[in-house]
Amino acid sequence: MHIIHEQSGDSFGAQAYTFELEEPDTAHILHPQQVVAYRGDPRGRSDRLLEISRMMRKRKLIRADFKGRCSFTAVLPAGFGLQTLDLAGGSDMLYDFRQLFFYTDGIEMKSRILKLKNMLITQDAIKMKFSGEGQIGIMTQGTVFQAELHEKEPLYVNAGSILAYPENARLDLAVYGNHLASQHMPFHWKMTGRGHVLLQAGGTRSQELKEHMEDDGLVKRILREAIPFGNILIK
């Protein structure tokens, strides 16, 4: 299977990815509503209900299976990209199921339930562990990079920036810094263990920064209200 990133001059707009499959290939798409174009035998696509765990039984998830010689194009909203990872054999990394866009034949998924305390804080209940040989595609926001874990020296990571982490890692909800710093920061994962954490440069904090930079500020808003025709004169 070959994936082409249909790049244009606008790197901040919606992104398009074309999947080209040969006869033995099969791609399982977890967000089939993002597929906007298909070329091939109409019987090459088969949708089915997917049940990840008992906790998600009431939520109907649809998986689209594309098989055989065909091609299709999927789009992601502005700010999102697709990171393809090659897996071979066992992997102890845990991923957020919501960020999984596709996986190929040969990949097996197993769900891992988080502790109740962590569920309540992060609004995240299930992580996925992959095994086997093949490819998976993860939806990301911004550049993807790694941070090493250590057994004794903790790494504090904003929960919204994590793409994947080792199953053996120890996670505790925490904040760091002095009283003022810890008072104004969201909960972080205090992480120790072996291996590395997969992080994304975007996420919830980037959106908050963007909103802050686009905010007019208190002074401009007061002037618009106080000065006649302020809404016209002050942009």
Distance separating alpha carbons of residues 175 and 23, to the nearest angstrom: 51
Distance separating alpha carbons of residues 112 and 127, to the nearest angstrom: 5
- pLDDT surpasses 60 at 27: yes
Distance separating alpha carbons of residues 65 and 22, to the nearest angstrom: 14
pLDDT at residue 228, rounded to an integer? 61
Chain centroid, CA 235 distance in Å: 36
**How far is residue 142 from each of residues 44, 79, 82, 98, 167, measured CA to CA in Å?**
33, 7, 10, 17, 24
Quick: pLDDT tens for 211-233: 555 555 555 655 566 666 555 55
pLDDT at residue 13, rounded to an integer? 80
pLDDT at residue 51, rounded to an integer? 66
What residue spans define the domains of the chain?
Answer: 1-141, 142-227
**What is the edge-to-edge ordering of all strands in the sheet holding 2-5?**
2-5, 15-21, 70-76, 35-40
Task: Determine the straight-line distance between the first and last CA of the chain, rounded to whole angstroms.
Answer: 50
Quick: pLDDT tens for 94-151: 998 888 999 999 999 888 877 776 666 556 677 889 999 999 999 998 889 999 999 9
Q: What is the mean pLDDT of the chain?
A: 83
pLDDT at residue 118, rounded to an integer? 64
pLDDT at residue 61, rounded to an integer? 82
